[in-house]
Amino acid sequence: MAENDPQQQAPAPAGATSAGSGAPASVGPSGPGGFSGRPGGPRPQGGPRPPGGPKRGKRNFVRKKKVCRFCVDKVDLIDYKKADVLSSFIQDRGRILPRRMTGTCARHQRWLTVAIKRAQNIALLPFAAEL
């Protein structure tokens, strides 16, 4: 019949059936006269999987390591007058994007923050979104 039928039990060892009925003789939780390795007997076919096994329906997603754009270009100064470069590091509402989203290193994130604030002060970049 069905492979994952919860009513179906594991086959009993030879000589462990009750008087001609074909049913297993295990009455206790540990099986017919011994320890089966699990306190409740063997795992039924439809039960939960042991930890560490393959996970069904889950996709393995490997996040690509973000690299600092300024380190790759070997930039030693972030120019506050280049609004087109700085605008890619600002949200629509005018907030500066964090390092975890842009991938910039700590040093260049500090320089970027200073450059964005300077550009905002001389009106090259907006302080907030237009409402």
Per-residue pLDDT at 130 exceeds 90: no
Size of the chain, expressed as the number of residues it contains: 131
Residue type, 31: G
Contact 120, 127 (CB under 8 A): yes
Say what the pTM is.
0.53
**Band of residue 15 on the pLDDT scale cut at 50, 70, 90:** low
Alpha-carbon distance of 9 to 11, in angstroms, equals 6
pLDDT at residue 63 above 60? yes
* Residues 83, 104, 89: CA angle, nearest 5 degrees: 30
Q: What are phi and psi for residue 20, nearest 5 degrees? A: 75, 0
pLDDT digits (tens, 9 = 90+) for 76-115: 999 999 999 999 999 989 899 999 999 999 999 999 999 9
DSSP secondary structure letter of residue 37:
S
53 pLDDT higher than 70: no
Task: Enter the tokens of residue 13.
Answer: 């060892």
